[in-house]
Structure 1
Amino acid sequence: MSATASETPLPTISAPAKNQPRSVAFLALGCRLNQAEESTYREHSLESGWKIVDFRQVADIYIVNTCAVTLEAERQSRQMIRQARRRNPQATVVVTGCAGRSLQGHPEMEGVADLYIPNLDKEQLVPQLRQFLGEELHPQFERPFPPVAESRTTRLNLKVADGCFESCAFCIIPARRGTVRSLQIDEIIKRIQLAETLGYQEVVLTAVHLGALGHEQNRHDLDLLFERINSETTMPAVRLSSIDPHEISPRMIAALAASPRLCPFLHIPIQSGSDAILQRMRRRDTSAGIRETVLALKAAIPGISLTTDMIVGFPGETDEDFEASYALMAELGIHKIHVFPFSVRPGTRAAYMKDKLPEALIQERTQKLLELSRVQQKAWIESWQGKEVAVLIETINSDGVGKGYTPHYLRVQVPGCSQADHNTFLPVTITGALWEQEVALGTRL
């Protein structure tokens, strides 16, 4: 049996060992926004006096933030929820995220999860969980995320908005996340300043529809936010999670170019280089507009690194449409292409479109675009050979090998690190690469 957050709590609740705090484990599937939300859950759990353990360990509570972007993502969500239940049959298993609504009635989930928290209530997940467990309500949590020492990563994914205004034909997420709901700029600045005091060296501004920040209040906040980050914070590195090409304004480009602390990296989902397919996808971009934006970025910010998402085999995609996508990617020299073969997602407009392509053809085109991505990514990594860069060291293994990213989002492996180097920007020279791992090799200066 399972319950929603609004239903009466189940009478059989897992309890920790006597005089021991409850242990809680988290799993964030899918997007960076789920990771940002996990930071909040971690902090609220710590303030509740709970002990955080790895998801692979036995815990009293498991919190799974699910993904619904594809049917495969939903399948993986179900798998991980069942895995948590098997790990501790007496645990309280909590499900939230974009797949939560569909999983709640799924036959595989019967008797597996104890509590479902809808997306619109997930900001209050831990308070609702405390109520479900019969614990006293916490008067008010002090912070929206934990100190870096208690965080899973050294890079803070900062949630600045939820929801989406778009209606792309292939995407289910607006139906699951709702319309855009933004933090005020003043609050975002306060949270970046708080992150500084808690030891973070990098913040990633995260949202489903980042370019629509403030639009629900007839504001266009992103350009102003960049300018205020430059003038009112000292965070060493601030990065954008993802932004559509048509939402990159000249003012934004100027702000990016003016600040060494705004990372020279953008992930811009292009999805197709064919105007006909972009229109069928209900995208707001055109191939000409995409080209103009990318060229403007490269002119204003020499060396900026760019990655993208591309969907291959969208219904009705002809040979000419695919070649237009391939040609645009080659022309623009996008450094890494995340290639997604089209798959039917029930509940989207694309699921009901005619002219679907044979799977073999979709896979053939996918491999061709992936090969272009490999070539362009290798050339990009090679372009860094011999250059001095700053690497934010995020992990250090037992052999003293540190790994992290540069402001350009170049992944670098550096030997000879100690724990004192963790969460610091380390100056290194790029000396080689491990191509299969898509990582550059660096020697510390």
Structure 2
Amino acid sequence: MAEALSFGCRLNAAESEAMRHLAERSGWAGALVVNTCAVTAEAEAQARQAIRRAARENPGRPILVTGCAAQIAPDTWAALPGVARVIGNGRKLDPMAWDAPPAPITVADPVVPAATAGTRAFLAVQQGCDHHCTFCVIPQGRGPSRGLPVAEAAREAAALAERHREIVLSGVDLASHPDLAGLIRAVLRAAPGLARLRLSSLDPAALDDRFWAVWAEEERLAPSLHLSIQHADDLVLKRMRRRHRHADLLALARRARDLRPGAALGGDLIAGFPTETEAQHAWLEAFIAEAGLAFLHVFPYSPRPGTPAARMPPTPVALRRDRAARLRAAGLRERARFLAGRLGAEEEVLMEGKGLGMTAHGAALRLSGAPDAPGTLLRARVTGTDGATLLGERV
């Protein structure tokens, strides 16, 4: 059986499961598919280490490499031990790329939906990015923005809802889908039995009035938003070439909670961006509590070759790591505060195995008593929290 290793975003996770099946159907039954990420140097290093380890532990096993890092520097990845083929991002979900001679690497092919098996499915509805943030190489790895047609997304969602209780709409820049609001409504109409629809990371600057109407009206849309924030200091945001500012983020947080009280907010943050001062970092750290960000993905800044930020005066590596740790600690404090606010509440929980499940807000909940099978949807009353996980009992 083919195996897939995925690094990076949820979109990669969705694609990796689809590629594993493609590899098996195309004569690569024993292959290892490695879906790389180029967001940070650490993500690239982890993928290289995984490839070298796989080649060392299982000599002769073919390794198929794809993803953003492989897209940007295919020759580098092709030279690693055990690598039989490098497949470009634009063709990695094309069956022909797996059993035919590899075509020239491209990133501008149409979006092809892909979903993982299990409790929840990830449905890719958008690819690429038209923005050029100074720290990011993703446009090089994923190409221009393009969206899956709404009707096709609805058909895919209807099929997935027959086997899954939750679907996550994913994309490189999901909020840039040409009709995200219409897509959400179409998916929910096409899958009336779907318990929960969740969204992957969203660009704060791209959320329009149509989106907020959907957010307010669609009860099966999970009451949680994960935002591509990156920073909260206006000068740093300008140097990042982001399209939002501090005031915009606070207004967004207020609007989200005014329309859906108790909504959970989270975001991606970069620590130690070039030129970031201690005061600017402190501003970002304070913003976590100010906006109530309970679920964070924190990345120490990683210079990406060829990007404008890589030419800016760098923040020392040790300081980047220290600031990242401080942001994570602030995020954990905010998560503990959010979870404490759920005490006594009844939650809809999607069980994932070993007594653990996830609430609609995206919080982990450990259920007392005998564990339920993964995919079980139940109601639980929150009886406690350990600061990172809710504790509950069946209602």
Give 4+ residue runs of structure 1 displaced > 6 Å after superposition: none
Distance in 2 between residues matched to 1:418 and 1:342, nearest whole Å: 40
SS at match of 1:123: coil
How far the C-alpha of 1:391 sits from its partner, in A, is 0.9
Matches within 5 A, 1:251-262: 251-262=210-221
Partner of 1:130: 99
Is 2:223 the partner of 1:264?
A: yes
Is 2:1 the partner of 1:32?
A: no
Distance in 2 between residues matched to 1:337 and 1:144, nearest whole Å: 27
1:213 alignment partner, one of 177, 200, 214: 177
Letter matched to residue 128 of structure 1: A
Partner of 1:90: 60
Distance in 1 between residues matched to 2:152 and 2:17, nearest whole Å: 17
Is 2:367 the partner of 1:414?
A: yes
Structure 1 residues 144 and 288, CA, compared in 2 at 3 Å: closer, same or farther? closer
Distance in 2 between residues matched to 1:344 and 1:89, nearest whole Å: 33
Per-residue displacement from partner, 1:201-227 (whole Å, max 9, x unpaired)? 11000000111113xxxxxx0121223
Distance in 1 between residues matched to 2:304 and 2:49, nearest whole Å: 19
Is 2:237 the partner of 1:278?
A: yes
8 Å CA contact 2:52, 2:81 repeated in 1:
no
Is 2:394 the partner of 1:441?
A: no
Residues paired across the two proteins, number = 385
- Alignment RMSD, CA only? 2.3
Distance in 2 between residues matched to 1:156 and 1:212, nearest whole Å: 21
How far the C-alpha of 1:268 sits from its partner, in A, is 0.6
Structure 1 residues 131 and 189, CA, compared in 2 at 3 Å: closer, same or farther? same
Distance in 1 between residues matched to 2:17 and 2:76, nearest whole Å: 28
Letter matched to residue 208 of structure 1: V
SS at match of 1:156: strand
Distance in 2 between residues matched to 1:50 and 1:152, nearest whole Å: 20
Mind listing any 5+ residue stretches in structure 2 that lack a counterpart?
103-111
How far the C-alpha of 1:155 sits from its partner, in A, is 0.8
- TM-score using structure 1 length: 0.81
Partner of 1:243: 202
Is 2:335 the partner of 1:370?
A: no
Matches within 5 A, 1:353-392: 353-354=312-313, 356-392=314-350
8 Å CA contact 1:103, 1:109 repeated in 2:
no
SS at match of 2:133: coil
Bigger drift between 406-415 and 35-44 goes to 35-44
Structure 1 residues 161 and 71, CA, compared in 2 at 3 Å: closer, same or farther? same
Per-residue displacement from partner, 1:83-112 (whole Å, max 9, x unpaired)? 222232122210000111455433894442
Distance in 2 between residues matched to 1:232 and 1:263, nearest whole Å: 17
Structure 1 residues 406 and 351, CA, compared in 2 at 3 Å: closer, same or farther? same
Structure 1 residues 84 and 361, CA, compared in 2 at 3 Å: closer, same or farther? closer
SS at match of 1:268: strand
- TM-score using structure 2 length: 0.90
2:356 alignment partner, one of 403, 406, 410: 403
Partner of 1:320: 279
Distance in 1 between residues matched to 2:200 and 2:296, nearest whole Å: 15
Matches within 5 A, 1:327-338: 327-338=286-297
Per-residue displacement from partner, 1:169-195 (whole Å, max 9, x unpaired)? 111111111111211000001111111
Partner of 1:6: none
Distance in 1 between residues matched to 2:322 and 2:16, nearest whole Å: 37
Distance in 1 between residues matched to 2:59 and 2:363, nearest whole Å: 42
8 Å CA contact 2:27, 2:99 repeated in 1:
no
Per-residue displacement from partner, 1:156-177 (whole Å, max 9, x unpaired)? 0100011111101111111111
How far the C-alpha of 1:127 sits from its partner, in A, is 3.4
Which structure: larger Rg? 1
Distance in 2 between residues matched to 1:180 and 1:171, nearest whole Å: 15
